[in-house]
Amino acid sequence: MHARSLVFLLTSRSRFNFYTSFATKPSSLYRNKSRVCSSSAMSTESSSSSWTESDSKVVKEKLNVWPLDSYNIDLLNNVHPKNWSENDDDGSLREEYDLIVIGSGAGGLVSSKQAARRGVDSVALISEHLAGGDCLNVGCVPSKALIRSAKAVREVRRAADFGITLPKGDIEVDFGAVMERMRKLRATIAPVDSHEATVEAGAQVFQGRGKFTSPNTILVNGKELKFKKAVIATGGRASVPNIKGLKYAPYTTNAELFNLTELPKRMVIIGSGVVALEMAQSFQAFGSKVTVLNRSSKLFPRADKDVGPVIDKALVEDGIKIIYNCQFDEVKTIQSDERKVMIVSGSSGGEKFELHADVLLVAAGRTPNTSDLGLEEAGINYDKGGVIVDDLLRTTNPNVYAVGDCVSGVPRLTHMSGEMAKVAIQNAIFDDKWKLSSLVVPATMYTEPEYASVGRSDADADDVDVYMASIEHNDRSILEGEETAGFVKILCAKGSDKIIGATLVSSRAGEMLSEIVLAMTQNIGLSTIGRAIHSYPTLGESVMGVGLQYIRTKWELIKNES
């Protein structure tokens, strides 16, 4: 059996804990020393080795995390221990490492853990900021916690639609409690991404900044480490557009948003992508007055043409104001009482606007973390989009691979980073030829309704056949009282049932998409989906319905001789 066929294609963050093991036994060095390497740093009983509330100032300044309550202390004790040591005084440093990974987000964790569990003798992970990266700390995990709370708010406000009578008056949202719940759940998930979990998998963890000093050496914490192979997994950060006055304003990105403890009365969002719209809908539900500023003339201009209008309608019905064709003039910052307020000015369609913001969320794309890594010294080429790799994920240094958001020209998705890490380890360590271009990569925006897609979305192309079903007539959607009529659209190669792309707008669209991803990965035709019995009533029946549309085009009909 081909080695790659044994690699689990896990789709949840639990993949950080479970890996295929060709050599399930980690090297004896790390298996025996894992508790020694981590015990002093991870003990929650020692005040000298664990974060405490008295560390609030240093944590806020250096790690950009606040408030330092018990949940954030638990988080940090896992993902950035206060006094972590790689124990260089006990002989654990190697003269040469088989693999060194820079970065401890999804790509870095999967790379290091999978390599160690597959029998690689010496693996080192370099973690500078917070292990788990954006996903755990300031991305997927905290945002989905807020989205769930926002959904609960909307459901309570619609209680009368379901025959439930509540006391008169608007419901009260305790924003502090919403954020505390998020911090609690994030801390619950954190151990899977912890330094200790990486050590127990068989890798060594250096907490510091890694920088290439030559094509086969990396400097970290004053120590120069030599490697046979390396993986760059340094991730990305929010892009900040060049708008007059913005860099001097106390704007917020996803890196700070989940530290909020008070609900902003007015939130202005620059950008209209996934982060922008997910948080716009959530904060509007919590009670903020939200305005989204979009430079484009519509939402998702590169997506299927039917997506933007449906999402726009849902957001506007929620009370969100979206301004299109924005041209920005300036961002001013003024002092109002004890707070700083930002004033965003510009124009749209010739009409001027001036918006006051208590929180100005900048969510206008991502920038790869490639600066000050010593890439030039290592002979690694990069551009403004990130590190340049070939289809096997090799950089211009054949012994260095790159994965995740730091790579040029790839989707900025957690599951993409994890899957790229599997490709990199398979190719770097096992000399395989697994290609990046072979991956079938789904994406989901978790607004209500959700927007999910995979593969091509150019329904107007001459080489595709389009099959589409409206969610409006799906019985489960009707019974659930869904307010927005979405759709399932599947593109097939012209004249066949070979699926080459899909776009879904619906509640639970991300989960509905999975069977289409499986079909594309395993070359299962749309007719097979149509013949698969789906439980009634489910939203998934709409996917089956699209399959039935294809089958109907091939039906034999009885001719009426009369």
How would you class 536 by CB atoms within 10 Å of its CB: exposed for 0-12, middle for 13-18, buried for 19 or more? Answer: exposed
> How many CA atoms within 13 Å lie on the side-chain side of 553?
15
Q: How far apart are CA 346 and CA 210, in angstroms?
A: 41
Nearest to 376 by CA among 210, 208, 215, 227: 215
pLDDT digits 0-9 by tens, 424-435: 999 999 999 999
Residues ≥6 apart with Cβ < 8 Å to 237? 253, 255, 366, 367, 369
The CATH number that domain 442-552 falls under is 3.30.390.30
- Provide the pLDDT for residue 89: 40
User: Shortest CA distance to 107 belongs to which of 433, 452, 444, 368?
Assistant: 368
Angle 181-314-542 from CA coordinates, rounded to 5°: 95
How far from chain centre, in Å, is Cα 375? 25
Quote the DSSP letter at residue 454. E
CA–CA separation, 516 vs 526, rounded Å?
9
Q: Is the peptide bond before 215 cis (omega within 30 degrees of 0)?
A: no
Listed residue (520, 517, 525) closest to 547, CA to CA: 525
546 contact partners, CB below 8 Å, separation of at least 6? 467, 468, 469, 488, 489, 490, 526, 529, 530
Could you tell me the CA-to-CA distances from 396 to 215, 389, 392 in Å, in that order?
10, 7, 11
| Residue range(s) occupied by CATH 3.50.50.60 in the chain | 21-33+86-131+194-237+367-438, 246-364
State the Cα–Cα distance between residues 130 and 100, nearest whole angstrom.
18
User: SS3 letters for 477-534?
Assistant: HHHHCCCCCCEEEEEEECCCCCEEEEEEEECCHHHHCHHHHHHHHCCCCHHHHHHCCC
Q: Which positions of the chain have pLDDT values less than 70? A: 1-48, 87-91, 562
Structure confidence at residue 42 (pLDDT): 38
223 contacts 92 by C-beta, under 8 angstroms? no
Predicted pLDDT at 13: 44
Which fold does the domain 21-33+86-131+194-237+367-438 belong to in CATH? Answer: FAD/NAD(P)-binding domain (3.50.50)
Q: What is the dihedral of CA 366, 368, 371, 375, to 10 degrees?
A: -170
Q: Residue 353's beta-bridge partner residues? A: 346
C-alpha–C-alpha distance, residues 546 and 474, integer Å: 12
- Neighbouring C-alpha atoms within 13 Å toward the C-beta of 39: 5
* Assigned superfamily of 246-364: FAD/NAD(P)-binding domain (3.50.50.60)
The secondary structure element, H or E, covering residue 333 is strand 326-336
Helix (H, G, I), strand (E, B) or coil at 552: helix
Q: What pLDDT, on a 0 to 100 scale, did the predictor assign at position 390?
A: 98
The pLDDT value given to residue 484: 87
For the record, the structure tokens of 357 come out as 């913001």
